[in-house]
Chain A
Amino acid sequence: MTSIPNSILTLVAGILLTVVSLWYGYNNGLMPVAASVEATHVDALFNAMMAIATGLFIIVQGVIVYSAIMFRRKKGDDTDGPAIEGNVPLEIFWTAIPAAIVLWISIYSFEIYGEMGGFDPSAANDMHAMHGGKNSAMAAEMPGMDMKAMEGMTASGIGASPASQGKEAAVNVNVTGLQYAWIFNYPNTNITAGELHVPVNQEVKLTLKANDVIHALWIPQLRLKQDTIPGEITQLRFTSNKVGTYPIRCAELCGGYHGSMVTNMIVETQENYDTWVASQIQPAETTGSAVMQSTLASIESMNPATMPTHEYLAPYAHEMGVRTEMLAKLVRDQQAKNHIHLDS
């Protein structure tokens, strides 16, 4: 009676494995701050997948290490192991379990994607708009954009969450990605800025386009990313629920200074947001915003593909993640290289 039955050992190991997997899955702490409801949804999915991943990882690595220790060939033993060529029930078991797991993850992802607004019929899925036809509704949603350029286009991306479908977002922003900066235009107030200001707990809709090459707008704290594609309109809708300053990074390779295509999203209280809007609308020379606006507008109208990097890089120096001295050096390097590459 001194030995514990195998079935009990297996049961204890199973319970331990489950506890450890669940604990690590839900306490992994690998994600940055979640600053929106959508981000919380994504984290729930991620944590569930991490729990499953931890369990699988421990089982597989455990079997490898256990085999390496317990089933090592003894010195001088040149005989073969047992001739087991398979076991159909076992094979069915390890086909069915992974199948069930991936099916469950698929359904869960489907649900989360819906919660995030991925199935918003006015956005991601609009086959009618995709095939041209009547775009008046869509065009009305995107004031300030070049109407002609939008004809026959659909906006793919993340649309409104089920709760706010069919409603206008509280804040609309047109985003332009260009080498190597983001430009944010608020069509209702005609503010143009290099940083994205949004009020907390209000739904925001970004309408994205690109002037030169493909970029991708990524806000890690919102768990949202969307490519901006030349000749196509894409969109993102979200509601951030935490005041703070979060980085916006370009995630799609867009050229030599791709890594410097960084700016900030400032989520602020409604009052602070209103103050910011008011400060931007004032045509006061002292703030320099008018100068800034005209600079940005002229830059946006240029075709950067035909220009060397350093010419349109300068206005954004203060908003880039690169120090000013470093930028100066980079531009010098670029100029030196121009003799070799661009002129040839």
Chain B
Amino acid sequence: MTANISLPPVAEQSSPSHGHGERRWQDYFTFNTDHKVIGIQYMVMSFFFYLVGGLLAEGIRTELATPDPDLVDPALYNSMFTMHATIMIFLWIVPAGTGAFANYLIPLMIGARDMAFPKLNAVAFWMLPPAGVMLIGSFYFGTAQAGWTSYPPLSLTTGKVGEAIWIFSLLLGGTSSILGGINFMTTILKMRVPSMGMMQMPLFCWAMIATSALILIATPILAGALILLSFDLLAGTAFFNPTGGGHPVVYQHMFWFYSHPAVYIMVLPFFGIISEVIPIHSRKPIFGYGAIAYSSLAISFLGLIVWAHHMFTSGTPAWLRMFFMITTMIIAVPTGIKVFGWLATMWGGKISLNSPMLFAMGFLSTFVVGGISGVMLAAVPFDIHVHDTYFVVAHLHYVLFGGSVFGIFTGIYHWYPKAIGRMYSEFWGRVHFVMTFVGFNVTFLPMHILGLQGMPRRIAMYAPEFQTLNQVCTWGSYLLAVSTVPFLVNALWCWFKGEKAPDNPWNALTFEWMTSSPPEIENFEVLPVLTTGPYDYGVEEEEHLATIAS
């Protein structure tokens, strides 16, 4: 099977007067339709929000250095963790994974000149800055304080303006995400070079098919929940309000029907990135291409039927608790297939411990901890004890920081030479990794114990017996904050002063390395032809020739 479209539509250029390979810096601040510009716009914007969300996290950790609520007003504290989660999820991890990397890489990886719908792509991006500005701006009016889950009735009683702004921002973000999902799906399915079948695609594309499917199926439900919530909030309806006959648990079902898949939306792209990075820097083919490709689809499917494990202590009947326990447990199997596949890829390879590989190995190391605690949380009797405690806070950060954020840095270092055209500093990259890895574990490992011992999450004041461990977490979070400095200096300095990068610094086989660094405006002078599989490292030259001949 080959793609129907042999010549992808030519991208509109906002600056037709400029020749190939030339890009004005102003383009990055305009409604540009080049997928590479949009990818970098996503990356820089989401990194800005990472710093904002991180600042909020440092505020939270500073408050929690002592048991008393002595830094900020408790209501403001609730706003801070609400905004921390909202910003980190909807303006950092989701846009960085499904916006930045997917936009930048998919057309390059499949030999297309742009995305299927370039204008839609730009529209999707430009929905996010207003959403972010509104969220940050809402601190002036009284921010949403009901947590990023925003459960009614609490969310209906903590200030209309902030909650309404929060709902509207999320609707914008969700719409942007849906538009992106349509674009990725169409581009991957329809715009590959004719010689590339589905099973010759880079695994990142498989991961993005799985991610886009989740976005398209689950995000509309979140939109529905939020619109109904806004009616309750602003129009006095009672969909979720018990005083008018509504049911608050219905909101929880609708919310988690999106928000559990959202976890996979936030981590599947990075599974894809890890599947690219590990073979290249281990100089070995990916171990079990088919298993890793299909396990993405399995995770995507199973991810849709596990949502109520967030509600084991809610008003849920026993059969429902048992059903969702079993589905949640099963999702560990496809995830395990991937992890073991990556380990086997490294085994016996020739590993370069450079920055992308270090972050990829850090990803494996920390994500596995999050995966294991995830299986434990799936067990209903244990979850009843630790639900809504710091054990969950630890678990989710091992998945979303140890998984997604480590994945983002893996991707940034790996494709930095391609996107910027200059090499980053390996030394500062390694310093960044060590500080991030140590800081991360010091911050989040003790939280497991806090949760088991009895500390609930989302509290500004806690029992004095938890202070020592909380202070360890706080010091760890300061180290994490400092760890962004070597990264920022490295990334910014090398952007202008770094050593010029060759087209293919890693000797990789996928298409994005077959063009110039940075790629010219329509990606390829001549569309590439598939001669090897994406990960055929070490495969004999004769076999290459045989592949071409066939």
- A residues lining the B interface (CB < 8 Å): 30-32, 41-42, 45-46, 49, 53, 56-57, 60-61, 63-64, 67-68, 71-74, 77-87, 90-91, 94-95, 98-99, 102-103, 105-106, 108-110, 112-113, 116, 118-119, 124-125, 127, 130, 154, 156, 158, 212-214, 216, 218, 220-221, 223-227, 229-232, 234, 247, 249-260, 262, 305, 321-323, 326, 330, 333-334, 337, 340-341, 344
Contacts and interface: CB of A to CB of B under 8 A. Distances in A.
Given A230-B153, A262-B463, A322-B461, A95 B337 contact: yes
Interface stretch (B48-56, B87-95, B214-222, B318-326): B318-326
A30 B319 contact: no
B151 A214 contact: yes
Nearest to B533: A85
A80 B283 contact: yes
Contact of A73 (B289, B339, B352, B449): B352
B65 to A, nearest CB: 14
Interface of B: 68-70, 73-75, 77-78, 142, 145-147, 149, 151, 153-154, 157-159, 161, 242-243, 247-249, 282-291, 313-319, 321-322, 325-326, 329-330, 332-333, 336-337, 339-341, 343-344, 346-353, 361, 364-365, 368-369, 372-373, 375-376, 378-382, 384-385, 387-389, 448-449, 452-454, 456-463, 507, 535-540
A344 B339 CA distance: 53
Contacts of A77: 350
A254 to B, nearest CB: 6
Contacts of A255: 75, 78, 145, 154, 157-158
23 contacts: A42-B382, A63-B346, A71-B348, A83-B285, A95-B291, A98-B332, A102-B329, A102-B332, A102-B333, A109-B380, A112-B381, A156-B315, A218-B388, A224-B384, A229-B249, A231-B248, A251-B387, A252-B388, A255-B154, A256-B75, A256-B77, A305-B153, A344-B161
Nearest to B147: A253
B250 to A, nearest CB: 11
Contact of A83 (B68, B341, B351, B538): B538
Most chain A beta carbons < 10 A, residue from B77, B285, B286: B285
B453 A102 contact: no
Contacts of A253: 78, 146-147, 149, 151, 154, 388, 457-458
A45 B308 CA distance: 21
A116 to B, nearest CB: 6
Nearest to A305: B157
B207 to A, nearest CB: 18
A32 B452 CA distance: 7
Contacts of B290: 86
A334 B74 CA distance: 9
B331 to A, nearest CB: 9
Contacts of B151: 213-214, 252-253
Contacts of A106: 325-326, 329, 379
A289 B379 CA distance: 43
A126 B145 CA distance: 35
A57 B315 contact: no
A158 B348 CA distance: 51
B537 A80 contact: yes
Nearest to A127: B317
Contacts of A223: 381, 384-385
B326 A119 contact: no
Most chain A beta carbons < 10 A, residue from B284, B340, B348, B457: B340
B287 A220 contact: no
A227 B384 CA distance: 10
A42 B385 contact: yes
A125 B339 CA distance: 38
B284 to A, nearest CB: 4
Given A63-B343, A87-B288, 20 more contacts: A42-B385, A53-B372, A67-B351, A68-B353, A77-B350, A81-B283, A83-B540, A84-B284, A84-B348, A95-B337, A102-B332, A125-B318, A218-B454, A247-B463, A249-B454, A256-B74, A256-B78, A259-B456, A323-B68, A326-B69
A57 B368 CA distance: 7
A42 B73 CA distance: 37
A78 B352 CA distance: 11
Given A68-B361, A105-B329, A213 B154 contact: yes
A116 B376 CA distance: 18
Contact of B385 (A130, A224, A262): A224
Contacts of B376: 46, 49, 53
A112 B383 CA distance: 12
Contact of A259 (B73, B74, B145, B364): B74
B309 to A, nearest CB: 12
Contacts of B159: 341
A195 B372 CA distance: 37
Contacts of B325: 106, 109-110
